[in-house]
Amino acid sequence: MLPLRIESQYFGSVQYMKQIARANTTVIDVHEPFKKMSYRNRTTIVSAQGPLLLTVPIQNGRDQKLPINEVRICYGENWPSKHIKALTSCYKRSPFFEYYEEGVCTLIKKEHKFLIDLNMSTISWLCKVLKTQFNISKTTESIPYLDPNFKEGRDAANDRNLSQNIANQVYPQVFSDKIEFIPNASILDLLFCMGPSANIYLKDNAL
């Protein structure tokens, strides 16, 4: 079976993490050019008003074409504090927020120089809290845009045109009494709401 080739994401979406959880081998392309308006430096959480986008600002702006492993994070504004406040506001009522709050805050507060380092740290942390081992590696060199040696999966997890059977994906979100279920939110949404059961959810082929 060909290894899955995917992009790097900041606290990847549920579908993104499903790709990793179900693949025998995953290769994260760290040499691809940075792509603006993507989830490489963004993640979607669920607020009482609906989806809320959290963005990690990067140096030299979003229009740059540097390889993702050379993209530096900008700390000119205190985005870590804003992200933590948003997460606390949205998930303090969730069943498992207090179990993972410290770990998430530690990750966000640490000043990673490069975006790829922050994103890889989130995956390592998820392996630990989900008590699983994802078979993940990073590209060691630039490879063609489409390479027959890989199963292409970049940006597939967040394709808005991808038809999804939302009925099968529903789990109890914090504001389910106020708004409709928000599919494919950040893995943090699933983790805060489902706790250890998130691992089973990710690997269930029926979802």
* pLDDT for the residue 206: 57
User: For the chain, how many structural domains are there in total?
Assistant: 1
* Residue 207: inside a domain: no
What was the pLDDT predicted at 132?
84
Instruction: Report pTM.
Output: 0.92
pLDDT at 131: 85
The separation between the first and the last C-alpha atoms of the chain, rounded to the nearest angstrom, is 22
Q: Determine contact, residues 21/132, Cβ cutoff 8 Å.
A: yes
Asked whether residue 201 is domain-assigned, the answer is no
Helix axes 97-109, 187-194, angle to 10 degrees: 150
Ranges of residues in the chain whose predicted pLDDT is under 50: 163
